[in-house]
């Protein structure tokens, strides 16, 4: 089956599952499906577009730049992976950066966006589970971080991103996703709009939507295992 046909079939099923999960969760939120195309070629981006998915996620700046040069449709580009500060200038070209995980990165992104004469939309990455292998702020750090983010005039804080532990059971998933909701509430209390929750990947997106996710980041379920 051509990749475009396969992706179209899977996207239709995923959208049905998202709608059912949203109904079960009762939060009533709109949910944006982000097709994560890392390690897949431009054909995956095109297949997503033709299936009605106009938001594409990449983990690495360099890989995204290579694909952007070959993709002719106007997808919205999301940076969903860990970002090094020395790549901030390139990251400022994205439509949304999900992985603002340190104050030093915030300053670098703010400076890069200022040089580009734009306001960059970002999500604050939170490490709810406390795993040492995951980046992000702890919940108790957010009040102090919020003060510093207010000084970053070229950043617009749209919400929170988090990742749950791999292969966690449902109770752990729900605890992590609820923690991300708490983080969003803290940001809103600090004066940010922060309406978005980016959480949920191929193995846990339905639970994430039940818990209020507004953005889910799906790769394997759409395109198969990565190489």
Q: What is the pLDDT of residues 32-73, one digit of tens each?
A: 999 999 999 999 999 999 999 999 999 999 999 999 999 999
Structural domain span for residue 37: 3-223
Q: How far is CA 164 from CA 49, 187, 206, in A?
A: 27, 20, 13
Distance CA 163, CA 81 (A): 11
Pairing of strands 155-161, 215-218: unpaired
Distance CA 10, CA 121 (A): 29
pLDDT of residue 1: 67
Residue 121's DSSP bridge partners are 156
Whether 133 shows a pLDDT value over 80: the answer reads no
Supply the DSSP symbol for 81: S
Domain with 118 in it: what CATH number?
3.20.20.10
Instruction: Work out the average pLDDT over 115-127.
Output: 98
107, 152 Cβ separation under 8 angstroms: yes
Q: How many folded domains does the chain comprise?
A: 1
Give the tokens for residue 195.
């309406």
pLDDT-based confidence at residue 190 (cuts at 50, 70, 90): very high
Whether 206 shows a pLDDT value over 90: the answer reads yes
């Amino acid at each position: 089956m051509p990749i475009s046909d396969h992706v179209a079939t899977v996207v239709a099923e995923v959208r049905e599952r998202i709608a059912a999960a949203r109904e079960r969760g009762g939060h009533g939120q709109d949910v944006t499906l982000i097709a994560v195309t890392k390690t897949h070629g431009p054909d995956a981006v095109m297949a997503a577009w033709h299936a009605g998915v106009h938001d594409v996620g990449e983990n690495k700046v360099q890989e995204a730049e290579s694909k952007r040069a070959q993709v002719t449709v106007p997808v919205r580009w999301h940076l969903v992976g860990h970002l090094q500060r020395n790549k901030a200038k390139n990251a400022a070209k994205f439509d949304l950066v999900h992985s603002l995980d340190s104050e030093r990165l915030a300053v670098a992104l703010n400076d890069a966006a200022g040089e580009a004469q734009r306001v960059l939309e970002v999500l604050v990455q939170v490490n709810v589970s406390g795993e040492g292998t995951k980046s992000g702020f702890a919940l108790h750090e957010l009040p102090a971080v919020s003060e510093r983010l207010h000084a970053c005039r070229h950043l617009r804080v749209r919400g929170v991103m988090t990742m749950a532990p791999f292969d966690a059971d449902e109770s752990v998933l729900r605890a992590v996703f609820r923690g991300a909701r708490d983080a969003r509430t803290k940001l809103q209390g600090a004066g940010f709009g922060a309406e978005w929750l980016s959480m949920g990947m191929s193995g846990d997106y339905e639970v994430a939507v039940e818990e209020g996710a507004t953005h889910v980041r799906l790769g394997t379920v759409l395109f198969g295992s990565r190489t």
